[in-house]
Structure 1
Amino acid sequence: MPPQTNAPFTVLAIYKFAELPDHEALKAPLAAFCCAREIRGTLILAPEGLNGTVAGTREAIAELVSHLLTDGAYAGRFVGAEIKYASAETMPFLRMKVRTKPEIVTLRAPEANPARRVGTYVAPQAWNGLIAEPDVRVIDTRNDYEVRLGRFAGAEDPATTSFTDFKAYVETHLDPERDRKIAMYCTGGIRCEKASAYLLEKGFEAVYHLKGGILAYLETVPEAESLWQGECFVFDERVAVGHGLLVGEASLCRACRMPLTAADRAHPDYVENLSCPHCAGDARKAASAAERQRQVELARHAGIAHLGEDAAADAQRRKAEKAELRARSAAQSTGTRQRS
């Protein structure tokens, strides 16, 4: 069971590399299971496994985890999945989506198969000691906008805009003859696990990766002993978390979707919900953001949801109300004609 909290929602992050040739057939039943329990978020199914983050009541999330680990449709392939829980005061997702993709984390390197071979897992409690060793190169495998919010002290930023760029970084910056020990980390463990498989295929021998990623580290390692600096970006409405997985101070630019620090929000180019230092001057994004904010304000004044499943439910309710009103009007009109 997820840990007991007073928060109304439990957030589940889960992934597992596993042989899943029947991933297409699993999509619809899994989506139905989640929707029936009002779970929201995104789950990705691919030939290489499962990945995703969802949220719901504590009981609903517990049912989902049990379903994935024990239901015969999965034949035990998700047993041993990397699972992390967090709590949220509000629902952090707009809708439920189950997607099928070629990979659960896109690297486009078929030789990297974590279900066959990966680097050495390092528990969060042992991570500080490893990265303090002088002959270890510590590499952040996340994208540049994520690294901006926080990183481990001394870690290298490959400055990638997508995970597929990591291959070029390895080609130009790393050498298996020179770099004898490499330690990698990412948000939840999935990227660095696949990156470790890739490095092993390229001839690197001592490859380590943080088990459970930054999230497991922030949850496990006391802040007083932590080597983490800043906040950790997460892909939901929480935007970022800190030690103890508490919601951080970062926000999201609604125009360009970049995470924003306090310094970003203090910049002259920052206009709430309209622009930030990363997208100011982009007329197309500014116009799109202005229209989006107008729709948000209209919805707020009308007392209805603007996005997601709540918006769809409101739209369906309004449609039903209009249909009922038309039916009443038609009935009244018929009655008037009959009396006359």
Structure 2
Amino acid sequence: MEIFNPNSNVHFLGLRRYSIGLAIALMIASVALIWGKGLNYGLDFTGGVEIQANYSQPVTTNDVRDALEKGGIKDPTVQSLGGTRQVLIRFQPKDDTVHPPQGDKVNLDVIAGDVGKALKAARPDAVVASRNYVSSQVGDELRSSGTIAAILVIIGIGLYLWIRFERRFAVAALATEVHDVLVTLGVIALVQREFDMTVLASVLAVIGYSINDKVVVFDRIRELFRLARKAEPEEILNRSINSTLSRTIITSLFTGIAMAALFFYGGPSVHGFAVTMLIGIVVGTLSSIFVASPILLWLGVSKKDLMPVTRENPELARRP
């Protein structure tokens, strides 16, 4: 049974030295960017002031943001609270509103008064309903929790693939997931886009999306290994990538279109999520094609690793 025709398939595995070398270079560059420039953490992680404002008539977040900036509030984040008459305003307070002897504590009365004046100057029906201050300590805890969550997700995926496939697949998946996360974060650090809770959520979503692509390829690899009689592992892996390529491209394309629509029509509050997902989709798709299978080949995956043990062939699934 012929399962590999070099005349009708792109030989992706022939590029493995270049693709793996580029992947390693991108990971090193990403670590350097994250370490050197750092992530531009938003108020969710750095702490800041949260103020809820109510309006008697509908208002847009853009109008509120413009009113705050005209009133001297720099870089405010404005989100709608389940309607068109309530908004949540978040921003980093000025240095002169922080009392040095009290550390993170700020004069909320002064800040709320400044915000109220800025809002009322544009819309007299604006009312400051509540105010709160999130300390930098809370932000540090959120950052630590987010990092732990990402690590646990990647480890959980590795255990799942170890059980479903074989340990070499788990190792390949873990390596590519680390690559995808690092490169995605590296791009965010490069452009210094604000890193907040929505971006963290999208990073976790990128992990799930990326592993979904790889599981599809891994399933095809296992199927072709069981069907093949004399084909070499490189041929099997290359054929698996080619046979799932159209599915991978179509899935990535339509997911990318959905994220683009979210970016253009979802409002500023979801821009970070959409942009991070778009970056992750590109990185995850390319790693599924050019990185995961070369790692499997390097680890020495073979037919014996994936064949079930039977009474007729009790040693098929065991290495000699």
- TM-score normalized with structure 2 length: 0.24
Greater helix share, structure number: 2
Answer 1 or 2: which has greater strand percent: 1
Indicate the structure whose relative CO is greater, using CA pairs within 8 Å and at least 6 residues apart.
2
Structure with bigger gyration radius: 2
